[in-house]
Amino acid sequence: MSLEIRSPKYERASITIPEEVAHLQKSFNGTICSNKGDEYAINNNIIDLLGDDPVSMSLAQSSNHWKVTAALYEDIWRKRSLSILTGEEFPIEKERELLMDWLHLQPGKLYLDIGCSTALYGRLIKKAQPDCDVVSLDFSKQMLQEARLKSEAEEVDTYLLRADARHLPFFGATFDGLTMGGTLNELTDPLKVLYEARRVIKKDGTFFMMHLVKAEAWYARLLQDSAEFGGIKFWDIAESNTMFERAGFSIADQFSRGIVCFSKLNPA
Ligand SMILES: C[S@@+](CC[C@H](N)C(=O)[O-])C[C@H]1O[C@@H](n2cnc3c(N)ncnc32)[C@H](O)[C@@H]1O
């Protein structure tokens, strides 16, 4: 299915992305433009809504724009991270089961992964339900290039969109499901992004959230406090729930292990 997005420049203007852009086995290059005439490049299937415009970001966020971080992120850190942070054996397979259980994927539906990095969730979704469409969104070109390599290698088609989650380039009630894995903690404006998520999700949609919460042990808190200097924030579960509710979500299900918290959010 082609994808309709909202122009980042003109709120009422739409841009249609041809279906071929998501077919990663074939390189797609070109420009797309809204019905108001603003143009954006597609480079090797990556739809770039940001171009060379400077984007404000924290130190933690800027490290995601280094090629080395993007290249090593998934294999060196992501695959092990939940076992380290939960304190128990927690392979990607376990996370995948929860994702499938809560998202309840359906053919013909549209899903968005916000702050996708290497498109791990997008790939899991598309492999489980090949007849749906997935948009993997990040503002790091380097992460999206790595997402492209991994998705192509696994023969998974996905729209790769370079955009800022603080201004999601979609019309209201576009998505049947949203995911956000670990991104909440590094957002400079988490509430703004949650409001945006609430705007673009359909009334009966589900938002799969994985984020890190405050540690209980004092030594772990010390580490978290120092990470906060780099722009990574931690909340306790009650504080995060207040934030989810303020943005217009209700908590349909939730569990935490160690400092990892999984939440199933629905529009309230
Ligand atoms: C912790 S990583 C996400 C990991 C990924 N979701 C996963 O499950 O493996 C956070 C990602 O969010 C992206 N990000 C942070 N702030 C963003 C923003 N305002 N807009 C778009 N992407 C953002 C970063 O570039 C980074 O790739």
**Ligand 1 center to residue 197 CA distance, Å?**
14
Q: Evaluate whether residue 253 is within a structural domain.
A: yes
**Ligand 1 center to residue 202 CA distance, Å?**
22
Q: How far apart are the first and last CA of the chain?
A: 29
Q: Evaluate whether residue 213 is within a structural domain.
A: yes
**Closest ligand 1 atom, residue 65 Cα:** 25
Range of the domain at 254: 56-267
**Ligand 1 center to residue 105 CA distance, Å?**
22
Q: Evaluate whether residue 146 is within a structural domain.
A: yes
**Ligand 1 center to residue 147 CA distance, Å?**
12
**Ligand 1 center to residue 119 CA distance, Å?**
10
Q: Evaluate whether residue 81 is within a structural domain.
A: yes
Q: Please give, one letter per residue, the 3-state secondary structure of the chain.
A: CCEEEECCCCCCCEEEECHHHHCCCCCCCEEEECCCCCEEEEECCEEECCCCCCCCCCHHHHHCCCHHHHHHHHHHHHHHHHHHHHCCCCCHHHHHHHHHHHHCCCCCCEEEEECCCCCHHHHHHHHHCCCCEEEEEECCHHHHHHHHHHHHHCCCCCEEEECCHHHCCCCCCCEEEEEEECCHHHCCCHHHHHHHHHHHEEEEEEEEEEEEECCCCHHHHHHHHHHHHCCCCCECHHHHHHHHHHCCEEEEEEEEECCEEEEEEEEC
Per-residue pLDDT in tens (0 to 9) along the chain, 268 residues: 899 999 999 999 999 999 999 999 999 999 999 999 999 999 999 999 999 877 777 777 787 778 888 888 788 788 888 888 888 898 999 999 999 999 999 999 999 999 999 999 999 999 999 999 999 999 999 999 999 999 999 999 999 999 999 999 999 999 999 999 999 999 999 999 999 999 999 999 999 999 999 988 888 888 888 888 778 999 999 999 999 999 999 999 999 999 999 999 999 9
Q: What is the CATH number of the domain that holds 143?
A: 3.40.50.150
Q: Evaluate whether residue 237 is within a structural domain.
A: yes
Q: Evaluate whether residue 262 is within a structural domain.
A: yes
Q: Which residues line ligand 1 (CB under 6 A)?
A: 61, 64, 78, 115-117, 120-121, 138-140, 143, 164-166, 181-183, 186-187
Ligand 1, atom 10, residue with closest C-alpha: 183
The pick from 92, 138, 146, 234 for probing ligand 1's pocket by mutation, whose C-beta has the most ligand atoms within 8 angstroms, reads 138
Q: How many domains does the chain have?
A: 1
**Ligand 1 center to residue 261 CA distance, Å?**
17
Q: Evaluate whether residue 172 is within a structural domain.
A: yes
